[in-house]
Amino acid sequence: MSELAIEPDKISQSHDIQAIFENLKANQFNVGRTTVRARIAKLKRFHATMLRFQEEINEAMWADFRKSPTEVAISEIGVVNTEIRHAIRNLRTWLTPKRVGMPLMMIGTRSEIRYEPKGVCLIIAPWNFPFCLSLAPVALAIAAGNVVVLKPSEMAPHSSAVMKKIIEEVFPANEVAVVEGAVEVATQLLALPFNHIFFTGSPQVGKIVMRAAAEHLASVTLELGGKSPVIVDETANLNLAAAQISWINAMNAGQICIAPDYVLVHENVKEALLLKLKEKSEKFYGNTPEARATTPDYARLSTDRHFSRVKDLLDDALAQGAQLVFGGNTNAAERYIEPTLLDHVPDEAKIWKEEVFGPVLPIRTFKQIEEVIEYVNKDERPLAMYIFSARKRFIEQIFAETRSGGIAANECAIQFYHNDLPFGGSNNSGIGKGHGEFGFMEFINQRGITFQNRIFPHTLLFMPPYGGKLARLLLKGVARWF
Ligand code: NAD
């Protein structure tokens, strides 16, 4: 086979993808013209159908990575539910054209901003919260009047199949299409001239997406990841801090983009915090390694590749001299990694260099706030940061002297749940924001519109030949008064 030849099944796949795209593109203005009332009706149907599939969603998530139905309710269905209901409540306001004033330069005109759909949108989702990170952006794209291709992650195949069923039940194929597949399929999709690409995943793939988008100058929203630090000051309520850190670090087996990635704790309270963290892990998941390995409340790593990657980070840290404070047990056959705490991890360990994205939490100490700021700022900007402290000045200084996508004081991950807060990263952790009106606006073309009066458009005064008295006066005025 020559280098340029494509295998037959890939040819038919790429033709299908092209046909799906053309079909959506041909329908974009019909969908874009739909009324607020029609879009709300669609969102309600979408919502009701998703709830009807709740049992199938639970089964799919258990089959994909043994995620407990309670976590599915809190972090998958609950999030999509809130996003859709919030959009239904606010859509009329979001879509109402905004009148703007009339500056002197625009005398005699009337102007407004209209909120138009961008057109044909591509949503590429990761596997770690397959429903939430696929269906919530679809809801916002639909609310904005777009037509959509959703490509769920191939790493959560059961969830992907259920989403396809839900979408096909609610939307015609020329409005929302689900295209399942892995990297080749994503690559074929990225070659098409979408108007907007909403990507959630790793910074590495985010760069590939942005490069592909540049070919067509498609706008992008990149919801990426990174290392999200937790800072624990000596004034923190250690009991609460430990509960929140342990819960979110082990939820979804640590496979959360905004999970605590490492802890920076004041040296005076390190031992006390470690004790509390151990206590909380035992309380949440069981007093013995056997209990923790069998509790239905604790998920698994999603694939063998992800299991090996996290296990390798753990093994590397231990080989370099890290001290195992808690956990450390693993089971490759089950893709199980126990909630694990590491202390005294040398700087050279790989765990300090890449996003852990698993239930292994390294801890390091600080004496002065300046050390915290320097440590956080030396690397890429985090997606999230968490500060546990009773001192407002400490918290405010960290706010002022660091940058991240989001930040929470005395809590972990809670910022994700507020629909009136923008959710997203900063540079390496993301570009653009999701959730509520911020996410909706990513799918909107804000079109500036001006109506000129038809009797005496003021622009007549500026036209050539230049040099007349009135024109000279006006030009002087342009510089001084307008
Ligand atoms: P990933 O980047 O490997 O995959 C995400 C999607 O991109 C999948 O649909 C996959 O099929 C596709 N993809 C993979 N390789 C590709 C390529 N070469 N070209 C085109 N498409 C490709 O991410 P993941 O492993 O599914 O998820 C984990 C990452 O996502 C972590 O970094 C995590 O922090 C991040 N994440 C971010 C958020 C957020 O909201 N900011 C949420 C969840 C996960």
Domains and CATH numbers, the chain: 8-224+434-445 (3.40.605.10), 229-428 (3.40.309.10), 452-481 (no CATH)
pLDDT score of 173: 96
| Closest ligand 1 atom number to CA of residue 405 | 41
Q: Which of 75, 128, 164, 187 to mutate to test the pocket of ligand 1 (most atoms within 8 A of CB)?
A: 128
Separation between Cα atoms, residue 226 and residue 223, nearest integer Å: 11
Distance of CA 440 to the CA centre of its chain: 13
Instruction: Tell how far the Cα of 250 is from the centroid of ligand 1, in angstroms.
Output: 20
pTM of structure: 0.94
pLDDT score of 466: 81
Separation between Cα atoms, residue 351 and residue 310, nearest integer Å: 9
Separation between Cα atoms, residue 321 and residue 316, nearest integer Å: 9
pLDDT score of 3: 35
Separation between Cα atoms, residue 153 and residue 201, nearest integer Å: 10
Residues near ligand 1 with C-beta < 6 Å?
124-128, 133, 151, 153-155, 182-183, 186-187, 190, 200-202, 205, 208, 223-225, 257, 355, 357, 383, 425, 430
Q: Which of 123, 199, 205, 211 to mutate to test the pocket of ligand 1 (most atoms within 8 A of CB)?
A: 205
For 372, the 3-state DSSP assignment is: helix
Paired residues of 434 in beta bridges: 423
| Closest ligand 1 atom number to CA of residue 223 | 41
Instruction: Tell how far the Cα of 186 is from the centroid of ligand 1, in angstroms.
Output: 11
Instruction: Tell how far the Cα of 84 is from the centroid of ligand 1, in angstroms.
Output: 23
pLDDT score of 482: 61
Under DSSP, the state recorded for 423 is: B
Task: For residue 465, give both structure tokens.
Answer: 């030949």
**Which tens digit of pLDDT belongs to each residue from 138-192?**
999 999 999 999 999 999 999 999 999 999 999 999 999 999 999 999 999 999 9
pLDDT score of 417: 87
Which residues of the chain have a pLDDT value below 70?
Answer: 1-15, 478-479, 481-482
Instruction: Tell how far the Cα of 54 is from the centroid of ligand 1, in angstroms.
Output: 25
Q: Which residue has the tokens 């009807």?
A: 52
Instruction: Tell how far the Cα of 155 is from the centroid of ligand 1, in angstroms.
Output: 10
Relative to beta strand 360-366, strand 262-266 is parallel
Torsion, CA 145, CA 210, CA 61, CA 341, rounded to 10: -140
Paired residues of 100 in beta bridges: 111
Angle subtended at Cα 299 by Cα 294 and Cα 303, rounded to the nearest 5 degrees: 115
Q: How far apart are the first and last CA of the chain?
A: 68
Question: Mind telling me the catalytic residues?
Answer: 223, 257
pLDDT score of 481: 65
Instruction: Tell how far the Cα of 124 is from the centroid of ligand 1, in angstroms.
Output: 8
C-alpha closest to that of 186 among 157, 149, 219? 149
Instruction: Tell how far the Cα of 432 is from the centroid of ligand 1, in angstroms.
Output: 16
Separation between Cα atoms, residue 18 and residue 41, nearest integer Å: 29
Separation between Cα atoms, residue 374 and residue 397, nearest integer Å: 12
